[in-house]
């Protein structure tokens, strides 16, 4: 019987798919991620032929050394920067991910962060809970309109493209930067292409990041880029934490270099850069942009199907690398 190790329990629909196909599953029992040392200890077995990993699991040569018969790693995530894909290739290990299915959820969360910042929703909620509300005043938590603003999207793939479509109803102007022009976004949403990211940063009232984490996108937004942005601008990141230099962002928020930020991902996750949580002009959510039942179930199905297809000799979709 083929034995599969899961670094965490995924939704039941994926578990059932694997069990019904006769796989023996060994599921890490804790809700939180195992340390790398604990993961290696758990994987010390030649019995495992497959691995279902999460984005927080570092899958490198030491993992393959610990369990040398692993043939496939199904990453329960859109990204795969947690996996040493080149090392997997050397060892003949197939790596897959679960792209696309969480795009709508992340796009909706992105727009929710924009609205939370422009309406000062989170600040107002805390004000009420602390019992500070003494009655209506014309100057309490004055926000800013989303309508009429220029939204700069860096990356217009599945998620960035959906953000553009959602924003159509808000009466905003969409500008975007990507590796190439996207004629569909331009025709559907009236988006305008900016080949120079610096020019986009200067023009945008809200900058929203939708790029994968690669060497070229690490600290894509850094101290110099933050200084280019308008002092009234907001930054949204629902992509990957290290795309933003979080230490530089804290300083920019403290000094009002930019007006605020909405973050669902963090450079030092699960930790925050010093001082970030103490700032009132930032909205923080705990990496939950894709946390919709539909999205999580679909991700489980894709991960499980990759393993089923591999061992049944079918074409494996969503290979990476």
Residues annotated catalytic, as ranges: 240, 269, 287
Whole-structure pTM over 0.85, yes or no?
A: yes
pLDDT tens-digit readout, 61-108 = 999 999 999 999 999 998 898 999 999 999 999 999 999 899 999 999
Residue-averaged pLDDT of the chain = 96
Q: Which of 184, 107, 153, 141 is nearest to 281 (CA)?
A: 141
For the cut 90, the answer to whether the pLDDT of residue 30 exceeds it is: no
Residue 67: both structure tokens together:
């369990």
Q: Which of 231, 185, 242 is nearest to 209 (CA)?
A: 242
In angstroms, how far is the first alpha carbon of the chain from the final one? Answer: 28
pLDDT band for position 148 (cuts 50, 70, 90): very high
pLDDT band for position 57 (cuts 50, 70, 90): very high
Residue 115: both structure tokens together:
């609205």
pLDDT band for position 123 (cuts 50, 70, 90): very high
**pLDDT > 90: percent of the chain:** 93
Decide the pairing of beta strands 150-154 and 94-96. unpaired
Name residue 152's beta-bridge partners. Answer: 175, 207
Question: What integer is the mean pLDDT of 192-217?
Answer: 96
For residue 47, give the DSSP letter: -
3-state secondary structure of 154: strand
Domains of the chain: 3-99+293-312 (3.40.50.720), 103-284 (3.40.50.720)
Cα 61 from Cα 132, distance rounded (Å): 55
Cβ count within 10 A of residue 101? 20
């Amino acid at each position: 019987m083929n034995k599969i190790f899961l670094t965490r329990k995924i939704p039941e629909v994926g578990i059932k798919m694997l069990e019904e196909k006769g796989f023996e599953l060994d599921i890490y029992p804790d809700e939180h991620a195992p340390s790398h040392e604990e993961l290696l200890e758990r994987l010390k077995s030649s019995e495992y032929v497959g691995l279902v990993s999460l984005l927080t699991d570092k899958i490198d040569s030491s993992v393959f050394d610990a369990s040398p018969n692993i043939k496939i790693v199904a990453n329960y995530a859109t990204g795969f920067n947690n996996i040493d894909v080149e090392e997997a290739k050397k060892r003949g290990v197939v790596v897959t991910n679960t792209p696309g299915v969480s795009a709508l959820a992340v796009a909706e969360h992105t727009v929710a962060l924009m609205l939370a910042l422009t309406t000062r929703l989170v600040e107002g909620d805390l004000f009420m809970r602390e019992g500070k509300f003494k009655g209506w005043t014309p100057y309490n938590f004055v926000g800013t309109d989303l309508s009429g603003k220029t939204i700069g999207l860096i990356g217009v793939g599945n998620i960035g493209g959906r953000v553009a479509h959602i924003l159509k109803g808000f009466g905003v102007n969409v500008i975007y930067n990507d590796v190439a022009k996207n004629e569909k976004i331009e025709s559907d949403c009236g988006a305008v292409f900016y080949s120079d990211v610096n020019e986009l940063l200067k023009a945008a009232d809200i900058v929203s990041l939708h790029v994968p984490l690669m060497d070229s996108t690490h600290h894509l937004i850094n101290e110099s880029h933050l200084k280019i942005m308008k002092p009234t601008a907001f930054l949204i990141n629902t992509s990957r934490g290290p795309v933003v230099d979080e230490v530089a962002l804290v300083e920019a928020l403290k000094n009002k270099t930019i007006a605020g930020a909405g973050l669902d991902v963090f450079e030092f996750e699960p930790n925050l850069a010093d001082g970030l949580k103490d700032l009132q002009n930032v909205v923080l959510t705990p990496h939950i942009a894709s946390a919709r039942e539909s999205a999580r179930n679909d991700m489980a199905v894709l991960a499980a199907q990759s393993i089923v297809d591999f061992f049944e000799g079918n074409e494996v979709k969503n290979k990476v690398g």
